Structure 1
Amino acid sequence: MLVGCDFSSAPTRRKPIILAIGHAAGGRVQLMRLEKLESLDAFLDWLRAPHAWIGGFDFPFGLPRELVEHLGWPTGWRECMRHYASLTRPQIRETFAAYCSARPAGSKFAHRRFDKLAGSSPSMKWVNPPVAYMLHAAVPLLLQAGVHIPGLHEGDPQRVALEAYPGLLAREVIARRSYKSDEKGKQTADRLIARKDLITALEQGRTRLGLRLKLTHAQADALAADASGDSLDAVLCLVQAAWAAQRGAPRYGLPDDIDPLEGWIVSA
């Protein structure tokens, strides 16, 4: 089974964690269904369930080495994540804000080695989007569930979690066009067209991943209709998980020189 996850660090009925469940064969990725989880407890229960899967999860799995070393935090991934989980969100915000305030304009944030390559936000960012809080909420649950995280943590090889980033695949197809917004006033016709163009390109296999997404008409309509883009982001992560599954254990397409503290975004 393949999984793509659009994550929320404070899930609710209105803004749930969305899982795109599917499978792949012969270069085609079939979306089977979308599942919605309205709490972090429900997410942990799902992670712990005895299913075999390879999943792409849209949240950072690590912090920049430069930041960790500057703060004097443990440089082993598991120990660093345990320390990070022990902090409150206000403590995280204050610590990271102090770090940024001491840095020159234009380079306030520390980056992981692949951030610019993938176009991803620095994992220490606590606003717009608050990926530092997503890491804080999610990675301890991966550890509790005992999943396997290639390059970072040995766990159950039947449940494989990879860091994914939907924006990486979306930009390949529609460049910098915006396709989503949580704000009603910004859920425009242009963004709807961008979502439809992105869905069409995925169905036709027009990406460097060489995979074709297979959807029913109802599924394609539902993905286009979700103006938040959360459902489509989960599906983009599903396609990245399928690419990783093609490459298989032990690396799942991750580079040989992955930093064992920072991790890597699959297919970057």
Structure 2
Amino acid sequence: MALVSQTSFDPPALLLGCDFSSAPTTRKSIVLALGCFRNKRVTLSKLERFSSLSAFSSWLNQTQSWVGAFDLPFGLPRELVHTLRWPSEWQACMAHYAALSREDIRQVFAAFCAARPVGGKFAHRSTDLIAGSSPSMKWVNPPVAFMMHAGVPLLLQAGATLPGLYAPAAESSDRDTAPLKVALEAYPGLLAREVLGHRSYKADDKARQTPERLIARKDLITALEQGRTRLEMHLKLSHAQRDALADDASGDALDAVLCLMQAAWASRRHEEGAVMYGLPPDTDPLEGWIITA
């Protein structure tokens, strides 16, 4: 295992954004937004949905190159890892974490929180505080700790490189032919808040799928199409795609597209010579970082 620094590979043509679920079903699936980037335009080619982790894993293991932004945490807070006396090297820490059951994780994290004062129950990564995302150790509402537990092993099994954290060892004979799969941690809420502020644009509960949230989704889509974000990219959609994104009241498809935009930004940064696809050079090699934060 080696940390990622520079790479001589050309950026893959395929970009993807992933709205992830640790327990996907036909009703609440994992959504992939697939597309490409050219001349400051991000074109959405299609949406893929997966109702099981095994189906999603099979897609990841296909022999194709991509740069993907995934809405799940890639690391735990350094403070938490040190307090629990878990391995402080990322790969060893993730191996230890993956070996635990979800109930084990719930009990260990609940005990950690119980020993801390009110107002400071959770440990946070630096990137969580800057991005405004949930702490990566949170196991409810949303259960991002379980998303990491389910998702990171699938990325590693697929042979993905996680810039700043992990690069798979490759036989010298495979270096020129093996697909380059680059996985980056994303948070769609970061980009959505830039446009909408604190307006809500999604809800899984049908009773909360209001006209106001529909209007917010349409406003967000329009802003992405017009390039009115600091990413300085325009989203290119067909009329049917625009309607489908607006009509998905859960926001899952739109979240996948927001991640796709973040993947495109990272790919562009790589083209411009950024060492780690736009991640800060001082990214904590245990905690990781949310792209564009």
Q: Which bracket does the TM-score occupy, shorter chain normalised?
A: over 0.9
Select 1:214's aligned residue among 236, 240, 243.
236
TM-score, with length taken from structure 1: 0.99
Select 1:178's aligned residue among 200, 225, 232.
200
Would the aligned equivalents of 1:4 and 1:56 in 2 still touch at CA under 8 Å? yes
Identity rate, percent: 67
Paired residue for 1:266? 291
Find the aligned partners of 1:79 and 1:177 in 2 and give their Cα distance. Answer: 40
Paired residue for 1:116? 129
Would the aligned equivalents of 2:64 and 2:179 in 1 still touch at CA under 8 Å? no
Find the aligned partners of 1:146 and 1:28 in 2 and give their Cα distance. Answer: 28
Select 1:166's aligned residue among 185, 188, 196.
188
Find the aligned partners of 1:244 and 1:33 in 2 and give their Cα distance. Answer: 20
Find the aligned partners of 1:8 and 1:250 in 2 and give their Cα distance. Answer: 30
Equivalent residues in 2 for 1:186-265 (5 A)?
A: 186-248=208-270, 250-265=275-290
Would the aligned equivalents of 1:22 and 1:32 in 2 still touch at CA under 8 Å? yes
Cα distance, 1:146 vs. partner?
1.2
Cα distance, 1:176 vs. partner?
0.6
Find the aligned partners of 2:96 and 2:129 in 1 and give their Cα distance. Answer: 26
Find the aligned partners of 2:158 and 2:89 in 1 and give their Cα distance. Answer: 19
- 2:194 alignment partner, SS class: helix
Cα distance, 1:250 vs. partner?
3.6
CA-to-aligned-CA distance 1:127-158 (integer Å, 9 cap, x gap): 01000000000011111111111000003671
- 1:241 alignment partner, SS class: helix
Unaligned runs of 5+ residues in structure 2 are 1-13, 169-177
Select 1:46's aligned residue among 59, 69, 90.
59
Paired residue for 1:73? 86
TM-score, with length taken from structure 2: 0.90
> One-letter code of the match for 1:204?
Q
Find the aligned partners of 1:211 and 1:104 in 2 and give their Cα distance. Answer: 43
> One-letter code of the match for 1:113?
S
Would the aligned equivalents of 1:148 and 1:157 in 2 still touch at CA under 8 Å? no
Would the aligned equivalents of 1:147 and 1:157 in 2 still touch at CA under 8 Å? no
Unaligned runs of 5+ residues in structure 1 are none
Equivalent residues in 2 for 1:76-155 (5 A)?
A: 76-155=89-168
Runs of 4+, deviation exceeding 6 Å = none
- 2:261 alignment partner, SS class: helix
